[in-house]
Amino acid sequence: MTLIKSISGIRGTIGGQPGDNLTPIDAVKFAAAYGIWLKGYSKKDDLKVVIGRDARLSGEMIQNLVVSTLVGLGIDVIDLDLSTTPTVEIAVPLEKADGGIILTASHNPKQWNALKLLNQKGEFLNAEEGALILEIAEKEDFTFAEVDDLGSITKNDSYIDIHIDEVLNLSLVDAETIRKAKFKVVVDGVNSTGGIAIPKLLKELGVEVVELYCDPTGHFPHNPEPLKEHLGDICALVLKEEADFGIVVDPDVDRLAFISNDGEMFGEEYTLVACADYVLGKTKGSTVSNLSSSRALSDVTEKHGGTYEAAAVGEVNVVTKMKATNAVIGGEGNGGIIYPESHYGRDSLVGTALFLMLMAEKGGTVAELRASYPSYYMSKKKIQLTPGLDVDGILKAMADKYQSEDISTIDGVKIDFPENWVHLRKSNTEPIIRIYTEAKSQSEADELADRIIDEIKAVAGI
C-alpha cells in the first residue's frame, strides 16, 4: 500500500495505516492544508471551492471527508458530485470560485484515489504552491471555524451538461457538420464518469452511440489505463458493430484514445497529433507537448507552417510553455488534449469534438487517417540503480557524451538524434532512471533503449 505526496496533490491506496496510505485521516489533513493555503493565498474572508469526483468505489467516502473539512474551515463548497477532471476545471472560473479539488486517481486501479488541487483559474497548482501545501500538512497547524462561521454546501449536478454546451460553442466545432457525417461510435467509459459525459456529448452531435462499460459503478472492468493490452473488448466490438471508430477514456476523462475502424489502436500518442492537425488547418500557430511525447506532433506542426516547442513532463509545465508561446493547441502524448480556447487543462470532451470535426471534413476512414501520419514507435524501459549512486552525475555524463547532438536538460536529459530520440528521467522516489525512446520501427526503438542502458551501466560502473 502506498501514499504519494507531491506538488500536484496527494495520491494513495485506500485503507491501512495513516501516513502510509490514503486513509480518512490523510484525506482530512491534506484537504485542511489546501484550505489553509487558500486562505493565505487569496487573502479573502469568504472562500468558495468546487469539488467533483470520478466514480471509483472510495469516491463518495473521500468526497464527504474533503467537503466536511473545507466546511469546517469556513469555506463554501460547490459540490458537483460525479464529474470529470476537465468539468471541474471549467466550473471553477464559471462559479467565480477560489479553487477546486478533483477526487480521482486518474488511470490508477480501483484501490487508488487522490486529491488533485486547482487554483482560481481551474488550473493545477505550480511547484511552489504545491510545496507550501505539503509543508502546511506536515506541520498540521490548522485553525477551524467556529459554529457561526462554518461554510455551506451547494449541490450542482448540471456541470457535465454545461461542459458539453461549452464544447458545442467552440469556434471550430460545428454540430451540423458532424451530424451530416452520421458517425457510429463505440464508447468504453471504464464504468466511470466518462460513461456519462462522452455518450451525452456524442448524442448532442447526432452520433450513434454503442455503449460499453458506461455504467458509473466504479467497478472497472479492466485496467483503467487506456493502453492496447487492456482494450481487447472495445477493439472487438468496433469490428462487430462495424463502427466508424471507438473512444476510450480513463476514469476522470482527461486521457483520450481512439480505436480505428479496423479494430486496431489509433495510438494514444496520435490523439494529440490528429486534433492538432485539425486545429492547425484552421488556426495558424504553435504547439506544445512534453519531452516524452511523439515527434509526430512536431512533423504535423511544421507541415502547417507552425512552430513546435517541448516542455518538461507534467501538465502544469506544458500549460506554462503553451502560455509563453501562445500555442493554439498542446497536450501530452498520453492522449491529453489542451485547447486554450476552452481552458488550460486536458479535456477528452474537447478532443472528441475536434476529432469528429477532422473526420467529418476529411472523410475516409480512421485507419486511413492514421496511415497518413508519420509512423513512430516508442520503447519505455527503466534501469534500477544501486542506492547511493549519483543519478544526477550519471545523467550529466550522458549529456556530456552526446553534447554534439541536440540536447535538452530541462527535465532529465533528452537527446534528439536525426532519426530518433532518447529521454532519460530519474525517479524522485527510488534509484531508477527511466529510458524513453522513439524511432521509425519498434526494433530500432528497443535497440536504442538497450544501447543507452548499457552506456548508463558503463558510466555508473555496474
Is-contact 3 105, C-beta < 8 A? no
CB-neighbour burial class of residue 397 (10 A; exposed 0-12, middle 13-18, buried 19+): middle
- Output helix, strand, coil percentages for the chain, rounded to the nearest 5: 40, 25, 35
DSSP state of 9: E
| Alpha carbon separation from 60 to 82, 196, 197, 223, 280 (Å, rounded) | 9, 17, 19, 21, 41
- 128-136 long-range contacts (CB < 8 A, ≥24 apart) are 129/7, 129/37, 129/41, 130/6, 130/7, 130/8, 130/9, 131/7, 132/37, 133/30, 133/33, 133/34, 133/37, 134/5, 134/7, 134/33, 136/33, 136/36, 136/37
Of the residues 8, 58, 106, 294, only one is catalytic, namely 106
Amino acid letter at 147? V
Under 8 Å CB-to-CB from 458, ≥6 apart: which residues?
none
For the question of residue 106 being annotated catalytic, the response is yes
Q: What residues act catalytically?
A: 106
